[in-house]
Structure 1
């Protein structure tokens, strides 16, 4: 996988090529990643996979016109062709009065915040397999569990580099580790299934595999024999898994593109309360070891 220095050099060089090729402004984001996973079921190895990938995206502007292209080929010839196509596309694109790079005064300046999101530990397949086996064994040991959907252990790492013609250049690395398990409880038409998982930036922060397996089993067993409630008005409680999806709907609704196109359900509702008074939503992109933390966004803003 590319080193941070290599990734930054490619992104910066691509922006320089775009400017030399006729773009009035440009930015490039490169992402290189690697992942591995091991899956077991009923105590036997079921799947082992490993993947590596890299891609660079280039956005160019011709005045108020813009175009975006991407490539996984970083050869000099491919990058030159990428720039040529992007500039040609931008010249034919419709004008957008809001198109442009982020203002220079908004960009991250100085050293990037350290969110401690990279763990150099790279577990071997045998270690991932052992975690998956421990999770499944713990799940199958819970009374009421009758079958297994399998368990897995995985690890990933990525390098992200961004360069803009406005003078921004930044790069960071991130890692991720996870363990999951899924089981079936009950018999025949009463069977129920559920799962549990845990993900962390650092390997040492992962929950114990046995705890993850036990939680998966307990959730599956608890679903057996559901009772239909009497008609009435009841408070609605959202499981934490569901609450995260609610935030996803919110972030999608306040996305600039959705608002500009008039497709947001919150259109024309600026200043109105969306959630109950007791709920506060905070954006903390620099939270140490946060799964979604990063030092800057796709335009170089902190």
Structure 2
């Protein structure tokens, strides 16, 4: 697997595309090349199930004719001139978009920046297989585990090249290494399933396969002999960090400028107001060195800075790309992400900042409640904030995890949940969305 991005050649081709688009009649244009390389191995019950390798270079050209815009994509080997002419012809017959256009020149990143996102370590299929088998063996060694649901290891890299007609030209690359294992405990209707995983930019920072496997086995065995909890209201629900990251994703969705512009966010009219409990901060940091979602510039060539999106519970910023910012009468904050031929706002290294209390002390302070380790379903309405999810985890009694619980539903409204939030101090920033253990008071639980 080739791990390098030939930025010189790809930049040259992207520049040619932009120049040909201008020659064909575009008033402005940008070209993007996304390069990806990956290798993965999956095993089950001691046998290799698959070994996969993939490589791709995807070219995208976006052109503007006045306020009309069109985008086209192609794989290597295409005719540059024909692609550029087709894109311009498409733009000429497209409806006008009053907010379309490249990022303002004054917002463009001008100096290269190395965020240490790339590890050149080459992982052979044999090394990946060895790691996957070791994870599975360690999980199966845990007493009570009945079988493997499979284990896998992967290594890959991605690169992005961006050229615009108003002077931006840049590229960067990032590596990614991963390990995961799923296991089953129990039999028949009493069977439980769980997993564990790790993902890093640098191979040497990955958790050991044996540790990942043992954690997966221990997690699933703890879930055996689960029961339903009694239906009740005003329940304090504690979210394990793995689940809390999804909760932070709901916050990110509610403060995404695109949702605000479409009026599909329940926070769309709340800028400058208290939306989270006082003392709670949400940060987004695109330039963090070795950050899992870092980038030296966004999909439009704009360099974003660290922002406190919600400060002391008060909403301060939306995630904004250039077009979304124009629609809202604002200025981009460098959160435009490429998705195929489109640019949409998104978070980078997003974090619900930790508090001062350990998760153990947080649980002790609750006394009685429900500790959630898994959520099921997608019962979240981002227009109204209504929240209802299937859940499993552990009942809390006398400040301790007492017994496993499954087949229950937790419900509330995100607007209320945001204001009843307490955070612990156990954040792990190795994920693009990071969160500590959190507790939310006043939820409804439907059980037996």
TM bucket by the smaller chain? over 0.9
Change (3 A) 1:281 1:37: same
2:51 is matched with which residue?
A: 48
8 Å Cα contact 1:163/1:169 also seen in 2: yes
Name which of structure 1's ranges 227-236 and 94-103 shifts more when overlaid on structure 2.
227-236
Q: Relative contact order, CA 8 A, sep 6+: which one is greater?
A: 1
Structure 2 alignment gaps of length 5 or more: 304-448
Deviates more, 1:250-259 or 1:141-150: 250-259
- Distance, in Å, in 2 between the alignment partners of 1:180 and 1:296 is 30
Across the two proteins, how many residue pairs are aligned to each other?
299
2:296 is aligned to 295
Give deviations 1:16-56, integer Å, cap 9, x for gaps: 11111111011111101110101111111111111111101
How far apart, CA to CA, are the structure 1 residues paired with 2:254 and 2:18? 31
d(CA) in 2 for partners of 1:198, 1:223: 21
TM-score normalized with structure 2 length: 0.64
Q: Note the alpha carbon deviations across 1:150-189, whole angstroms, 9 max, x for none.
A: 1111000122101111111110111000000000011221
- Partner secondary structure for residue 297 of structure 1: coil
Q: Which residue of 1 aligns with 2:204?
A: 204
Task: Give 2:263's aligned residue.
Answer: 262
Q: Distance in 2 between matches of 1:249 and 1:11?
A: 36
Residues in 2 aligned to 1:229 and 1:281: alpha-carbon distance in whole angstroms: 32
Matched with 2:28 is 25
**Which 4+ runs in 1 deviate beyond 4 A?**
none
Partner of 2:136 in structure 1? 136
**Post-superposition shift, 1:68?**
1.2
Q: Is the strand fraction higher in 1 or 2?
A: 2
Looking at structure 2, the residues matched to 87 and 296 of structure 1 have their Cα atoms a distance apart, in angstroms, of: 26
Equivalence for 1:13: 16
Distance 1:84 1:265 in 2: 42
Gaps spanning 5+ residues in structure 1: where? none
Shift of 1:228: 2.1
Match of 1:253 in 2: 254
2:284 is the alignment partner of 1:275: no
Q: CA deviation at 1:260?
A: 2.5
Q: Distance in 2 between matches of 1:285 and 1:294?
A: 6
Q: CA deviation at 1:74?
A: 3.9
Structure having the larger proportion of residues in helix: 1
Counterpart Cα distance in 2 of 1:74 and 1:288: 35
Call closer, same or farther: CA 1:290–1:142 in 2, change over 3 Å: same
Change in 2 beyond 3 A, CA 1:256/1:13: farther
Please give the alpha-carbon distance, in whole angstroms, between the structure 2 residues aligned to 1:81 and 1:73: 13
Q: RMSD of aligned C-alpha atoms?
A: 1.5
Secondary structure of the corresponding residue to residue 237 of structure 1: strand
Instruction: Give 3-state SS (helix, strand or coil) of 2:236's partner.
Output: coil
Aligned residue for 2:288, secondary structure, equals coil
Q: Report what 1:115 is aligned to.
A: 115
TM-score normalised to the size of structure 1? 0.94
